[in-house]
């Protein structure tokens, strides 16, 4: 493929007035500005320019206007100040790809330049050398700089020139490695996009044989992805490019080129246009967990129908009942029958079985978290309604409200331990402190002893008794709770919370804020819960939105699907599972996460999706929305019901 035909993969121009320029060494392709917003700032040169305005124009990517501004400023001063403005103009024109005017500006700078301006001067000459595809001139210019006095911006400019020199010296792997590392010194999205284009420009004119040899020798996924993309462009026809990029993307999921370069010739990849052909659901649909699995299935199917109702070639979807078939057997059958995306299972033993499975895999969304903590498989992603997520979110919520000293009141057993660990780790990391905690027995009706110990009321009574014995007479006495606490973290279900909140008030702790997980809220009950007034709690955004009076997909099915009214969070879980599955399949997961029905979902390094929930509060016996930010989605199912499933414990039993 010749240079002209290969350059067709350059992204479309942002501004129609930009001149087309040949040659890979242009510092930036203005076309890429379309990815971060085209500049609309005025660019007419003249006396209206100021230093601040010229800098803003440069930062916005309007380099020609910025250069004109710097030249206008230079015409009004003399000496070192004039040289500084001329150098800024040259830098701007080089960024714009205008070598002629950049060179003219550099020629007007005093020679030799002042020591404080020497680095910018020789960097400019180095950029001109790279533009001219003259590595010797570029290297000579860089050799006259003083790296010990580089600013961060100057270091980034120097690395850009060095990267271009390496391309010219037929070292594409070294060039890509250097420019990938250069991103660490860049401070804006525009600069990062320009860096991506710098890599791409070099790959477009690199020798394909050198690219193949370099790809075989590198173990760096980012570097390898760039090299493979360059190879693809070198021997692929225009019509086949998109298909080739689909295969490339599967080998390099989440690669930096997806954010910029690939978007120029395969926009459907960046917008999630790749669809699976066959989706399989692995869920228990009968037996003790049948109601849970059926509700999740209904959430998936509801979202599927809404998404594909108007499409002629919608994916096929099949459901496998894990109550009738062993998990691994069902998984292998689904893969054999053509599934290219699998959602499920949800019960913990089934999830663990798949996490340990070493056979053929396809992209899979596990609806619970495996027991193993290491990365179980690059094709498997874990997503669930973990109460630990809500405990961490509660810590953040408490800290953001100004609370710094917390105590915790939690149920006995492993669930209470997990909640405490998660809350304490997050709260401590933020700078708060958990001063104490107590466990209550969920089956008990009176929790006075636990609350008295938590609030140090027993110490107050002991002090009174010692004073009375010392004086030999009764004293006027009112117990006093500890004063060093400003928030209570409560890990109780709705029934326990209705016992605990009044008892906290009775034991002089009614004025302390209480922050809880979604377990305190029973969305299936219309009964007023005045005992819970004042409790803030995490909740999935769909339910938070409904508290505002907004219509959600729950409203369309509550009357026809009885399980949805009882377990709306599981229905939302199914909805989000399909959203995540399609994003994983298309390799189109935004770095800042996805706002879904159960929370804002962010993928961590271990393949787990972490949830950030919405927030609500009980007022006048009713839950009301607190979350005006709405990151839709954060939730926890009826974990107590899940815990009743003995050894088949699903969502409540999250990764310890």
**Tokens standing for residue 229:** 């993309």
Task: Return the pLDDT at 627.
Answer: 61
Strand-pair partners of 535: 514
- State how far the Cα of 64 lies from the Cα of 45, in Å rounded to an integer: 10
Count of Cβ atoms closer than 10 Å to residue 500 Cβ:
24
pLDDT (tens digit per residue) in 502-552: 988 877 677 899 999 999 999 988 888 889 999 999 999 999 998 988 888
Low-confidence residues of the chain: pLDDT under 70: 1-49, 235-247, 250, 263-273, 373-378, 457-481, 508, 591, 627-656
- State how far the Cα of 113 lies from the Cα of 81, in Å rounded to an integer: 11
The reported pTM is: 0.57
Residue 53 burial class via C-beta count within 10 angstroms: exposed 0-12, middle 13-18, buried 19 and up: middle
The DSSP line for 455-494 is TTHHHHHHHHHHHHHHHTS---------SS--EEEE---H
Q: Which residue pairs from 424-428 have beta carbons closer than 8 angstroms and sit at least 24 positions apart in sequence?
A: 424/395, 425/392, 426/391, 426/392, 426/395, 426/396, 427/395, 427/398, 427/399
**SS3 readout for 282-304:** EECCCCCCHHHHHHHHHHHHHHH
Task: Return the pLDDT at 61.
Answer: 86
**Tokens standing for residue 511:** 């004025």
Q: Which sign does the torsion angle of CA 258, 264, 270, 272 carry?
A: negative
Measured CA distances, 332 to 289, 317, 360, 581 (Å): 22, 16, 8, 18
Rg (CA), the chain: 31
- State how far the Cα of 457 lies from the Cα of 481, in Å rounded to an integer: 5
Task: Return the pLDDT at 634.
Answer: 37
Task: Return the pLDDT at 643.
Answer: 34
**Tokens standing for residue 550:** 């907004």
The verdict on whether omega for the bond into residue 357 sits within 30 degrees of 0, i.e. cis, is: no
Q: Using alpha carbons only, what angle is made at residue 76 by residues 70 and 78, rounded to the nearest 5 degrees?
A: 95
Collect all residues with Cβ–Cβ distance below 8 Å to 439 and sequence separation of at least 6: 410, 411, 412, 416, 450
**Tokens standing for residue 131:** 């533009």
Going by C-alpha positions, the residue among 442, 566, 420 that lies closest to residue 497 is 442
Give the residue carrying structure tokens 């292998």: 332
Element spanning 436, H or E: strand 433-440
Collect all residues with Cβ–Cβ distance below 8 Å to 644 and sequence separation of at least 6: none
**Tokens standing for residue 129:** 């050398």
């Amino acid at each position: 493929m010749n240079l002209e035909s290969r350059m067709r993969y350059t992204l479309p121009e942002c501004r129609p007035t930009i001149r087309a320029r040949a040659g890979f060494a242009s510092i930036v392709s203005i076309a890429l500005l379309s990815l971060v917003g085209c500049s609309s700032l005025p660019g007419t040169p003249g006396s209206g320019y100021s230093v601040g305005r010229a800098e803003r124009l440069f930062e916005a990517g309007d380099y020609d206007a910025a250069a004109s501004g710097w030249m206008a400023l230079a015409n009004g001063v003399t000496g070192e100040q004039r040289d500084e403005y001329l150098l800024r103009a040259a830098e701007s024109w080089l960024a714009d790809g205008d070598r002629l005017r950049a060179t003219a500006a550099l020629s007007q700078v005093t020679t030799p330049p002042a020591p404080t301006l020497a680095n910018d001067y020789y960097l400019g000459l180095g950029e001109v050398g790279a533009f001219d595809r003259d590595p010797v001139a570029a290297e000579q210019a860089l050799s006259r700089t003083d790296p010990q006095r580089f600013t961060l911006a100057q270091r980034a400019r120097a690395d850009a020139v060095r990267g271009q020199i390496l391309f010219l010296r037929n070292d594409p792997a070294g060039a890509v490695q250097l420019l990938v590392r250069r991103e660490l010194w860049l401070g804006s999205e525009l600069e990062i996009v320009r860096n991506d284009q710098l890599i791409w420009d070099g790959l477009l004119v690199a020798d394909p044989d050198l690219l193949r040899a370099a790809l075989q020798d590198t173990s760096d996924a980012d570097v390898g992805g760039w090299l493979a993309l360059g190879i693809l462009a070198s021997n692929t026809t225009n019509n086949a490019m998109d298909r080739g990029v689909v295969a490339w993307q599967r080998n390099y999921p989440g690669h930096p080129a997806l954010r910029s370069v690939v978007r120029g010739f395969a926009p459907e990849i960046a917008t999630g246009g790749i669809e699976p052909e066959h989706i399989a659901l692995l869920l228990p649909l009968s037996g003790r967990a049948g109601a849970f699995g059926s509700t999740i299935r209904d959430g998936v199917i509801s979202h599927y129908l809404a998404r594909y109702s108007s499409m002629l070639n919608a994916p096929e979807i099949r459901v496998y009942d894990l109550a009738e078939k062993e998990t691994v057997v069902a998984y292998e059958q689904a893969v054999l029958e053509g599934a290219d995306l699998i959602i499920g299972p949800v019960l913990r033993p089934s999830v663990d079985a798949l996490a340990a499975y070493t056979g053929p895999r396809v992209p899979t969304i596990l609806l619970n978290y495996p027991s193993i903590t290491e990365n179980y498989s690059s094709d498997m992603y874990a997503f669930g309604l973990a109460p630990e997520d809500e405990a961490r979110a509660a810590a953040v919520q408490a800290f953001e409200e100004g609370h710094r000293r917390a105590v915790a009141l939690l149920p006995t057993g492993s669930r209470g331990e997990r909640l405490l660990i998660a809350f304490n780790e997050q709260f401590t990391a933020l700078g708060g402190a958990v001063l104490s905690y107590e466990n209550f027995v969920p089956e008990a009706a009176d929790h006075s002893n636990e609350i008295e110990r938590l609030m140090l009321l027993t110490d107050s009574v002991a002090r009174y008794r010692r004073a009375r014995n010392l004086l030999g007479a009764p004293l006027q006495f009112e117990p006093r709770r500890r004063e060093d606490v400003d928030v209570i973290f409560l890990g109780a279900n709705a029934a326990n919370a209705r016992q605990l909140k009044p008892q906290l008030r009775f034991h002089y702790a009614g004025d302390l804020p209480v922050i809880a997980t979604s377990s305190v809220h029973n969305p299936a009950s219309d009964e007023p819960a005045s005992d819970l007034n004042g409790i803030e709690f995490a909740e999935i955004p769909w339910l938070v939105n409904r508290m505002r009076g907004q219509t959600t997909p729950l409203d369309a099915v509550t009357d026809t699907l009885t399980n949805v009214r009882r377990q709306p969070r599981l229905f939302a879980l199914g909805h989000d599972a399909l959203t995540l599955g399609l994003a994983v399949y298309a390799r189109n997961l935004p770095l800042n996460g996805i706002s879904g029905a159960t929370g804002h979902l962010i993928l961590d390094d271990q393949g787990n999706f972490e949830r950030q929930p919405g927030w609500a509060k009980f007022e006048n016996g009713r839950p009301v929305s607190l979350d005006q930010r709405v990151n839709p989605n954060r939730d926890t199912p009826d974990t107590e019901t899940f815990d009743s499933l003995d050894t088949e414990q699903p969502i409540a039993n999250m990764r310890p």
